[in-house]
A and B are shown apart, each in its own frame.
Chain A
Amino acid sequence: MSTIVLPQDAQGHAAPHHDDRSFVRKYIFSTDHKIIGIQFLFMSLFFLLVGGILAMAMRWQLAWPSDPNVPLPGGGMLPETMVTNGIMLPEFYNSLVTMHGTIMVFFAIMPLLVGVWANYLIPLQIGAEDMAFPRLNMASFWTAVPAGLIMMSSFFVVGGAANAGWTGYAPLSVNEVYSGVKLGQQLWALSLITLGFSSLMGSVNYITTIVNMRAPGMTYMRMPLSTWALFITSILILLAIPVLTGALILMFFDQTLGTTFYQPQDGGQPLLWQHLFWFFGHPEVYILILPAMGFVSDILSNGARKPIFGYTAMVLAIAGIAFLGWVVWGHHMFMSGMNPMLGSTFMVTTMLIAVPSAIKTFNWLGTLYRANIRFHVPMLHALAFVSMFVIGGLSGIFLANTPVDIPLHDTYFVVAHIHYVLFGGSLFAIFGAITYWFPKMFGRMMNKPLGYVHFALTFVFFNLTFFPMHMLGSGGHMRRLYDPTQYPNLAEMQDTNVFITISALLLFGTQFIFLVNFFWSLFKGEKAPSNPWEANSLEWAAPSPPPHGNWDGVLPTVHRGPYEYASPETEADYLPQTVALRAPARTHEPIGD
């Protein structure tokens, strides 16, 4: 980083920004989008771990319900109100279920997809020096942190953490007479309200930046699909999160002031919570998958060394999924007692949303057709996304179909569906994205052999863990059961629960390979060049890592789209967006500039 302040030249190129900020301003209260993205990365990896630990405790109980021969590991450290003699109490199980879902959705996956990558990638991929509102960006991260602290604190308060499910259905969630938890549920609501502000600040920034700060030549249709996906996801966040905030405020009033918005006394309606929550909740699940789809497109095209098949259709499909996502929320409520006519209409809209997702899947296959595929670690994760997301999407067809949803709703079939899209989909994409952009973020490569081993084991154990859940569900196994063996028909399936638990434990253990790889590579990874994957988008034209201000005072100029692999205009099999070719094309001259 230069410390010499250069005068402006005739073209108005500004001096490179000289950086004499303190450590605190640079790395703690930073306004640099890259640092903020990395801060979100560390925060969310922590919560991913916490969410995983909670899941392991749940799976332990499910495999060996209240079995004194198989006490909960670590149970001795927990208070008697949670675990007694190695056997967890039902109230603790319900909290585990609730907090696993809440933490994974809001504090792990959402920030891992948006907080990390919207922050890190957008300015780099569009050729901007930072976000439109760098201080607002800093505020966004430092609002997410207290939200997380509030959520974690709820484990330690009287009554324990929230236990009404991550979906928080009322009246259970608003009345401690029914749930046994008051403060924990209140903190749950307050935490999510706070997190909502963080997300909102982020989305205002991302949208403004993408609209107003694209570099010369960066038309909308030359933006990488990662940026497109993050752009459209930001619009979803902007419009959906405030609805959740409103719903949570009403919930908090019910919990604290004795109002009855969601309770039948005095005219309230439990279903009102469901409508408000799912009106937010369905766009939320697209928030949890769209950025992943964007990353997969970028990585897949790079690994295949071939342009993405049907770029325009891919953009339209992202927009189509986002748009349709607003009119399908009732499919979470087919059994709720709402008017059956609504069930039918929501079924139709839900079936329709399969179409843009199918378009994307076929286009990914089309990208691989007649390609020249390199199987680098990010590529493997992207391929896993495609194959696992297909399964998740197909299981959704069962659930979208209202009559078939009758036996399947609120069973493990739904749990299978959720985890195929969120883990098989989003999390694989996240692993791929971290591995892919790690060199850009930290100037080092992640370790390859560890990456391959982590991928292979995760893929296998993931499927062993979650595929059998489909059968549990169609066999009638309900969700959120502390002890399924209380039902004779479910007790017969207990072997499967044990199998799933063991697979899950192996899956969880495997993730330590990733964590070790991540932290070791931070310090000891092979030094990375600016473009280790021979990719085209703008971030690879910047150094690894890019300096504060990204472009050293001179914005890049964009000459083409981001997927010009195997272009006839150059001998190399990639052609970065910033490269200006000398006319005429079709020569064997080396790439200019």
Chain B
Amino acid sequence: MDEFWRLPDTISTFGADIDRLFHAIVIITGIVFVLVEVTLVVFLVKYRHREGRRSEYSHGNTKLEIGWTSATALIVLILGMVSWGLWQRIKNPAFFPEPGLQLEITAKQFEWNVKYPGADGQLDTDDDFTVRNQLHVPANVPVQIRLQAEDVIHSFFVPELRLKQDAVPGMEIPMWFEATTAGNYVVGCAELCGLGHYRMRGSMTVHEPADFESWQQSRIAAATNGAGPATDAAPAAPQGTSVAAAAATHAH
């Protein structure tokens, strides 16, 4: 089923829950689709006009109507109830897990500026450093991100994480995820933001925790050596050896 829908591999904890819901909806809507369309075709064939035929003179069947109305209402309400908790867990800050890493991402035309907390592990301190278009996170650690926008509305989107969040100027919007698989993934912008919307591409690298540490150290060292804010463009090739093998995780 995932190949038919071209679902990219899920690499986040709540992503798996979203996929489960997606599958459930595919099945429910699939059944309804088949039932309705087959019934339609059967009726069209069976009740086509033939000489001497006359339709049944009926204005409806109230019992039947009540029946299928209640059934539909029940199905959609159950679907809604089942999804309620998951939505709250993903989007409501009151339910976010304790973060192992906190970052700030500022979206602007047409790049993602990711601010890391630096050696002291605290954001909004002097040793923070910013990297353009590169999001580095450790695997299996809840990462919480403060999403901002400098100019217009953008939307942070990583398909494999099943995560999307609009970045709105004037708002600080918290989001979180926990990545389960190391690798390189694409960050896209999912809200029309101007002429460069199509090339507002960033990359996310999920590291094994040890690798993440060494990456952070190298960045901190670069920053304290007066290299200034990093100005890497979106990389074309995967980086690091331990990550290379996991880099073959593009959508199938």
Contact = CB atoms under 8 A, between A and B. Distances in A.
Contact of B250 (A368, A481, A492, A567): A492
Interface string A55-73: 0000000000000000000
B65 interface: yes
Contacts of B72: 354-355, 358-359
Contacts of A474: 5-7, 22
Query: What is the interface of chain B mostly: helix, strand, loop, or mixed?
Result: mixed
Interface stretch (B136-144, B156-164, B215-223): B156-164
Contacts of B192: 94, 97, 164-165, 169, 172, 479-480
Contacts of B29: 394-395, 397-398
Interface stretch (A194-202, A338-346, A502-510): A338-346
Contact of A340 (B55, B56, B87): B87
Given A94-B195, A336-B168, A401-B79, A409 B40 contact: no
Interface in B143-196: 151-153, 155, 157, 159, 162-171, 173, 186, 188-196
A347 B65 contact: no
B236 to A, nearest CB: 9
A478 B159 CA distance: 10
Which of B18, B162, B170 is the most central at the interface, judged by chain A CB atoms within 10 Å of its CB?
B170
B68 A359 contact: yes
A373 interface: yes
Interface in B13-41: 14, 17-18, 21-22, 25, 28-29, 32-33, 36-37, 39-40
Nearest to A496: B6
A361 B39 CA distance: 12
Contacts of A344: 84, 87-88
A407 B10 CA distance: 11
A134 interface: no
Interface stretch (A304-312, A528-536, A576-584): A304-312
Contacts of B36: 361, 365, 387, 390
Interface in B188-233: 188-199, 201
Given A90-B198, A307-B57, A401 B21 contact: yes
Interface of A: 90-91, 94, 97, 164-165, 169-172, 175, 178-180, 263-264, 268-271, 304-313, 335-337, 340-341, 343-344, 347-348, 351-352, 354-355, 358-359, 361-363, 365-366, 368-375, 383, 386-387, 390-391, 394-395, 397-398, 401-404, 406-407, 409-411, 470-472, 474-476, 478-484, 486-489, 492-493, 563, 565-568, 573
5 contacts: A90-B198, A335-B164, A361-B36, A372-B53, A483-B199
Interface of B: 4-8, 14, 17-18, 21-22, 25, 28-29, 32-33, 36-37, 39-40, 43-44, 47-50, 53-62, 64-65, 68-69, 72-73, 76-77, 79-80, 83-84, 86-88, 90-92, 109, 151-153, 155, 157, 159, 162-171, 173, 186, 188-199, 201, 250-251
Given A355-B69, A403-B90, 5 more contacts: A306-B56, A337-B173, A363-B65, A374-B49, A407-B18
